Amino acid sequence: MLSKKRQKKYLSKKEKKWLIQLHVFSESGDPEAIHQLRLNVKKVKAFVQMMKACSDKRIARDLGPLKKMFRQAGKIRDAGNNIRLLGEFQGMSAEYREQQERLGREAASVFKERTEGYRKKGKKAVRRLQADLHAVRSQCIKDWYASRLIKISVLLTASGDLLHEARKRIKELLYVQGLLPKALAGEIGLDKQYLDKLQDAIGNWHDMAVIVATYAGREGADSQAMVRECERKEGIVRTLASDFFLKAHLT
């Protein structure tokens, strides 16, 4: 059983963390604060996905304000990631770098202007979530994990956005496991080390795929090197993903 008290404590802890990072970014513009803010909101979103499967209440309706903050923070992150990844290849034009830096500055400016609104509406969203909580049966959580693993197995045979979707689902399982009582997590028996390695590999491939899609073919870009690197990273994913259902469980 996952108690209501444990759930409330978890949500309060995540709220405290993203509120701190919201303040840090508004004061300093530190990119790491955006990363940590998004990470803690992701954990709340993963929790809500599990609760949707085990609740009659429309708990997801409470997430709106957090999603808006999350999306705007993602625009800041995306611009920084593009510059970082393209820096690994020769020939990134000064024009493209300047464009990405400008997009990042604009997104950060909008985010900072909305900080107080994000804080107030985000806190209200968490209060609503907590009001909708109830104890959840262990069997429902086990069933949710089982259905998610089957879906991930299917997604891992695909490519493009569907493969990236598999990563999101894997991370949900890992995030929610951090909330579960130790005994229940043990009964589910996931190999966290394997799942984390797989989701990281998919993330590396996806970052490279985005770069190929947005920059390959531009003047000065080493397009062939980008494509080869993207294929290499996808190969790593395919190797790791083989026999996923068996590897995902501890033996």
Q: What is the pLDDT of residues 30-44, one digit of tens each?
A: 999 999 999 999 999
- Residue 124 sits in the same domain as residue 2: yes
* Residue after which a domain boundary falls, among 108, 135, 162: 135
- Residue 118 sits in the same domain as residue 158: no
- Residue 243 sits in the same domain as residue 143: yes
- Residue 118 sits in the same domain as residue 14: yes
- Identify any residues that bridge with 249 across adjacent strands, giving them in sequence order: 190
In degrees, rounded to 5, the angle at the alpha carbon of residue 24 between the alpha carbons of residues 71 and 108 is 40
Q: What is the pLDDT of residue 233?
A: 94
- Residue 87 sits in the same domain as residue 24: yes
* Residue after which a domain boundary falls, among 81, 100, 135: 135
Residues of the chain above pLDDT 70, percent: 92
Q: What's the rounded Cα separation, in Å, for the pair 92 and 221?
A: 6
Range of the domain at 161: 137-251
* Nearest of 152, 237, 233 to residue 190 by alpha carbon: 152
Maximum alpha-carbon separation in the chain: 58
Note every long-range contact of 55-58, with CB atoms under 8 Å and residues 24 or more positions apart, other chains counting.
55/132, 55/134, 55/136, 57/132, 57/134
* Residue after which a domain boundary falls, among 135, 170, 188: 135
- Residue 115 sits in the same domain as residue 128: yes
- Residue 127 sits in the same domain as residue 3: yes
The answer, yes or no, to whether residue 160 has pLDDT greater than 60, is yes
CB 73 within 8 Å of CB 111: yes
Q: What's the rounded Cα separation, in Å, for the pair 1 and 138?
A: 5
CB 166 within 8 Å of CB 202: yes
- What is the count of structural domains for the chain? 2
- Residue 125 sits in the same domain as residue 3: yes
pLDDT band at 227 (very low <50, low <70, confident <90, very high): confident
- Residue 83 sits in the same domain as residue 206: no
Q: What share of the chain is helix, strand, coil (3-state, %, to 5)?
A: 80, 0, 20
In degrees, rounded to 5, the angle at the alpha carbon of residue 105 between the alpha carbons of residues 101 and 111 is 145
Q: What is the pLDDT of residues 57-90, one digit of tens each?
A: 677 677 888 888 999 999 998 888 877 777 766 5
Q: What is the pLDDT of residues 177-208, one digit of tens each?
A: 999 999 999 999 999 999 999 999 999 999 88
